[in-house]
Amino acid sequence: MRVAIACDHGGFPLKGTVIEVVRAAGHQVLDLGTDSAASVDYPDYAEKLGRAIQHGEAARGILMCGSGVGASIAANKMRGVYAAVCHDTYSAHQGVEHDDMNVLCLGARIIGPELAKEIVAAFLGARFVGNDPGQERHARRVGKVRKLESEF
């Protein structure tokens, strides 16, 4: 799977760790910046990552800023991007399994590299279960979210 990675200056300290985890899990990395700790605007990097998802250049994305919140808000403004801040492994895998989340947002000022490794691994190892027998309720719920997106 190809995974887009992007961050602002606040997320930059986690970027290298996240890239290592993605590659170690056997996935390709699409590095969309930033490439230093110099101040930049998180919406610009959320847009780059969101466009990569929209255009099929990446199946999933990992977006980092200081808290993860601003990046998540910006990414969720883009059609077809389903982003959430996850600072625990349960949310990271459950967000994919039940909610079809395709972008993981992390706050580099909130979590350290060891926890980030576990969260990223949980996100990458998960798959949406809504099409599995007995799990149709998840597909129904995600369908309702997508309907909201198309109407508003």
Point out the residues that are catalytic.
65, 98
Helix axis angle, 89-99 to 113-125, nearest 10°: 20
Q: What is the DSSP string of 37-53?
A: SS---HHHHHHHHHHHH
Q: How many CB atoms lie within 10 A of CB 72?
A: 23
User: What does each C-alpha distance from 84 to 51, 68, 71, 75 come to in angstroms?
Assistant: 17, 8, 9, 9
Which residue has tokens 């606040």? 10
